[in-house]
Structure 1
Amino acid sequence: MKRIKAAALLGMCMAVFTACRGKADVNSVSELEQGIQTVEEAVNAERSEISVQDIKSSREVREGTSADTVVTPEDFPMEYDYGSGRISDWSREDMLKKTPKPKGNETVLNTVPNPVKIQALYLWEEGNVPAVTRFTEDMDGYFDEWNFRPYVTAIPVRDGVKPKGAVVLMAGGAYQFRGNYTDSLPTAAALREYGFQTFLVDYRLRPYTQEEGALDVARAVRFIRKYADVYGIAPDNIAVMGFSAGGIQAGEFLMHYDEMVDGTKLDADYIPDELDDIPAHTSAAGMIYSFYGRLSVGNMDPDWLSKGELPPTFYVYGTEDPFYTQFEEQYEVIKTMGIDTGRIVLNNWPHGFGSDGGWVEDYAQWLEGIFPSGGALETAGEEGMELFTPETRIQDVIDDPAFEGFGRLVFPVDLGLEGTLTLKEAGNRLVWYSHVNPERTVSIVNEMKARVQRGEKIFYDIYTDEEKKKDPSKEDTGLFYFRGDPGEKFAVVNAGGGFMYVAAMHDSFPHMQELAKQGYHAFALIYRPGAQTACEDLARAVAFIQEHAEEFQVHREGYSLWGGSAGARMAAWLGSYGTAAFGEKEYPAPGAVIMQYTGLSEVYGNEPPTYACVGVNDGIASYRTMERRIKGIRANGTAGEIEVFDGLSHGFGLGEGTVAEGWINRAVAFWEENTDQ
């Protein structure tokens, strides 16, 4: 009787939710509220007395337990605190709480993933989201605002845990809300302990369709596959799983929108990008109190299910769930079709228990056995890519086999850093610099290693062995390189350091990383101390790139020179005087010079278009001096632009977490505007 009552309540809720489609009004808002109340009642309904012996497949049945349910990990930021993870402690606020949105306009296409921190990224570029539903500003009463953009939240394995694969999670909520703080977050926290990188997808809800949400899931899978090496996993070791409606969403993806299906299937106006070239392929699925089908109705037709070429599927559900008989029936259908299956049935447990009940470890073990390579990334016969962390010693980075021959140049060779320093400590030794981001440092060295393991060459000597033998100081020079799109322009970035050392880890590598993700060929120069020799090295670097333009697949014209502090002087001098003034042949002048925080004052009338930025509180490079220089450049009829940031001191780099954050995108826009003319 109690089980029938719970079924009636939840069925009413599903009917209410299914009806909430078109434009919302006052009545639909009240129906949404009623639906939420019904979910709460169904979850909290008294458990029935069904016997284990009444269940057809008793082997997978167990008495659920909360003993091992993972509470919010201490390393989770406060905004991701979900509490105890136990169904008995949940509230309405937990059910409806929203995960933090991405910072600014960070997307899976324009942002390099950080495998050691929680990171939220929009799934689609602004203005290019495939859709058939019109969700307008006058439509209210929905969980999301009309301008909602789907996003993914990456939650990495705990520090010290070796990655085995990735799991993409979709929370339930009957397509009316996403219960991330009751479904996905607690499960992600548990799975990360077993070595699984986890990704929460905030997919589109009503008034959007199930099909549009499936494209969001596919986009997340493509992103993970693209950066599998960064996350330390084999690209085929990815599973999708969902809770209730989230599982139905995972099923829609697997049935109709995986592999090479892209947004044009729904929206002819969608413009495919580089991620669409990557197959949205997964190797396993998890149906947590869910099934393949539509809302409230599982599909039991093996002919229909076979069209999806479904992967191995793991089911978890309780005997008190209103949909219990449908779960049982579909499991048997899937198993009979010859698809690998797994199952945990929790005796006397209801719908909607999240990670509670003691099932996650079994699922993790099942995944490890299902994944094609049985666990972690294997590359070139090696066991896998061991990720660097904030606690990694810089000597271990220098000695890593991926950086053989140039590892010493990743960090300033002229600064005498102790090899025992960790990555999070190294930035504190960069004289004259501020706002050094340790997470960025870790991201850079991991991306360098990942690119090498993909077969890319990321470092080039600019001098021959004979030249270095004649002048041993040239041994400690070279170009780090992140490849861009074929035929695109290139940029050479020069870090500062007072012509005493090269602060590349803060002042040029991050810029290189950001420019490359926008499709540009990005180089970071390691040069010799001294203004004259530094400029000679930059001239040689430009000559080297020009001479190897076909190999790099770069556009020779319209390149840009970038620099911070002393590096900005180098960029400006080369831009004004040209390569011939420093011992090389005459090559085309740069299309733009991008300068940060340097007090260079002279203007000769032959400067390229110049962008500059500096902080008001810079005690080394006066912002007034930089303003006068830009004013002088403009007076000569050349484009010039400057940004002055309140409160910032010298050497802020990308300015992450400051008022300057995002300046690099405006500098790129300046470069493009002035090379297009």
Structure 2
Amino acid sequence: MRKKLMSVAVLVAACQYVMAQESLPLYPANQIPFAKENTEQPKITVFVPEKKKSNVAVIVCSGGAYGGRANDVEGIPACRKLNEAGITAFLLDYRVPNASRMSEKEIVPLTDVQAAIIYVRSHAKQYSIKPDKVGIMGFSAGGHLVTTVATHFHQTRLDNPGNFSLRPDFVVAVYPVVSFADSLTHLDSRRNLIGPDITPERVREYSNELQVADDTPPTFIVSAIDDDVVKVENSLYLEAALRQHHVPVKMFLYAKGGHGFGVNNKTAAAQWTEPCINWILSDKWKSDF
């Protein structure tokens, strides 16, 4: 009898958690920017914490080399980890670049994140969050995407009648692709975003360590020295650029862990998520800027 009651309790808790998630289309069906006839509709899934302890929101972007989205191993666990800390999370299924389904494919993921920022800020009251406490978190190619958002927020192709700021208040970049330079980049990510016509001008434009400015948002960077997929130098160059511009930056560096460990580096006793969440909740990123 006791086991049955426990099973029912677990089932009820699971149902409540699912009900706390809501998936929404990012755009009206006939207003998807750069869409061709067979485009996909990007969506945003809201993860509401069971016990809300913060008025901060985080938009989460999984990796996948700009060819897919690794939500099961990155985005969803990250949203749940944020929820455990009482933080509202928004998982973004941004469109991956595909010239057959969209025009100007290299700016489509950026545009989708900017639309998500507008959505979250314009619905801040609904979710009991502060519009000036909206951060973004990205993994691998999603890390490239969020650092692109952080360094390209002055430019957009979106209508923004509410004049909402497109600058994230803070950034979390986890084993990120940052540079598109030959010696540093993850070739599949670069090819999928700006290929096949990879010009020096495009390489520079999307090498985000070269695009850091004084108003780039405070950033928390996570990487492993032994990453053999995305070189750790991507993170180190980004950190150096942020420091040169006096932008607050925190680095959590593992000796081991490789690539794609998500929220749990099984080679390490200490996980990056705890100091990162403490950094987010402390508001130090805001007061330092």
Matching residue of 2:220: 314
**Match for 1:128: what amino acid?**
Q
- The whole-number CA distance in structure 1 between the counterparts of 2:11 and 2:147 is 30
Alignment of 1:1-150 (within 5 A): 75-77=13-15, 117-131=20-34, 134=36, 146-150=38-42
User: 2:234 is matched with which residue: 319, 326, 344?
Assistant: 326
Query: What is the CA-CA distance between 1:73 and the residue it aligns to?
Result: 11
Q: Which structure 2 residues correspond to residues 427-438 of structure 1 after superposition, within 5 A?
A: none
Where do 5+ consecutive residues of structure 1 fail to align?
1-71, 81-115, 137-145, 264-271, 375-677
Contact 1:183 1:243 in 2 (8 A): yes
Distance (whole Å) between structure 2 residues aligned to residue 77 and residue 252 of structure 1: 36
Give the C-alpha shift of residue 282 in structure 1.
1.7
The residue matched to 2:212 in structure 1 has which SS? helix
For 1:341, the equivalent position in structure 2 comes to 249
Please tell me whether the aligned partners of residues 60 and 136 of structure 2 are also in contact (alpha carbons under 8 angstroms): yes
State the alpha-carbon separation in 2 of the partners of residues 202 and 279 from structure 1.
Answer: 21
TM-fit CA distance, 1:165: 0.3
Alpha-carbon displacement from aligned partner over 1:617-650 (angstroms, at most 9, x marks no partner): xxxxxxxxxxxxxxxxxxxxxxxxxxxxxxxxxx
Equivalent residue runs for 1:526-541 within 5 Å: none
Query: Comparing both chains, which one has the higher relative contact order based on Cα–Cα distances under 8 Å and sequence gaps of 6 or more?
Result: 2
Q: CA deviation at 1:324?
A: 1.4
Give, in whole Å, the separation in 2 of the partners of 1:73 and 1:225. 33
Tell me the TM-score normalised to structure 2 length. 0.75
Contact 2:137–2:171 (CA under 8 A) maintained in structure 1? yes
User: How far, CA to CA, are the matches of 1:287 and 1:73 in structure 2?
Assistant: 34
Q: Secondary structure at the match of 2:111?
A: helix
- 2:123 aligned partner, one-letter code: Y
Q: Which residue of 1 aligns with 2:136?
A: 240
CA contact (8 A) 2:178 2:209 kept: no
Tell me what 2:203 maps to.
none
Structure 2: runs of 5+ lacking an equivalent: 1-9, 100-104, 191-205, 266-270
Q: How far apart, in 1, do the equivalents of 2:279 and 2:86 lie?
A: 13
Determine the C-alpha separation between the residues in 2 that align with 1:238 and 1:188: 14
Which residue does 1:199 correspond to in 2? Answer: 90
Q: How far apart, CA to CA, are the structure 2 residues paired with 1:345 and 1:76?
A: 34
Give the conservation status (yes or no) of the 8 Å contact 2:59–2:91: yes
Please tell me whether residue 354 in structure 1 is matched to residue 240 in structure 2: no
* AA at the equivalent of 1:119: E
Asked if structure 2 preserves the Cα contact closer than 8 Å seen for 1:172 and 1:243, the reply is yes
Alpha carbons 1:171, 1:183 under 8 Å: kept: yes
Report if aligned partners of 2:212, 2:241 keep a CA contact under 8 Å in 1: no
Deviation per residue, 1:8-55 (Å, 9 max, x gap): xxxxxxxxxxxxxxxxxxxxxxxxxxxxxxxxxxxxxxxxxxxxxxxx
Match of 1:226 among 122, 130, 145: 122
> Structure 2 matches for 1:135-174, cutoff 5 A?
146-158=38-50, 160-174=51-65
Partner of 1:100: none
Shift of 1:221: 0.9
Specify whether residues 229 and 243 from structure 1 end up closer, same or farther in structure 2 by C-alpha distance, changes over 3 A only. same
2:24–2:43: 8 Å Cα contact kept in structure 1?
Answer: yes
How far is 1:305 from its partner?
1.9
How far off its partner does 1:293 sit?
3.8
TM-score (norm: length of structure 1) = 0.34
Asked if structure 2 preserves the Cα contact closer than 8 Å seen for 1:237 and 1:373, the reply is no
Instruction: Give, in angstroms, the shift of residue 227 of structure 1.
Output: 1.6
Match of 1:163, SS state, is coil
Aligned to 1:464: none
C-alpha deviation, 1:76, in angstroms: 4.7
Give the distance between the partners of 1:247 and 1:301, measured in 2 at CA.
12
Contact preservation (8 Å) 1:151, 1:201: yes
Is this contact kept in 2: 1:222–1:280, CA < 8 A? yes
Distance 1:189 1:76, change over 3 A: farther
| Correspondent of 1:261 among 156, 161, 166 | 156
Partners of 1:247 and 1:259 lie apart in 2 by: 19
Looking at structure 2, the residues matched to 289 and 340 of structure 1 have their Cα atoms a distance apart, in angstroms, of: 18
Q: Is it true that 1:282 corresponds to 2:171 in the alignment? A: no
- Report the Cα offset of residue 186 of structure 1: 0.4
Once superposed, which parts of structure 1, at least 4 consecutive aligned residues long, lie more than 6 Å away?
A: none
Shift of 1:359: 1.1
Distance 1:178 1:149 in 2: 14
Secondary structure of the residue aligned to 1:213 is helix
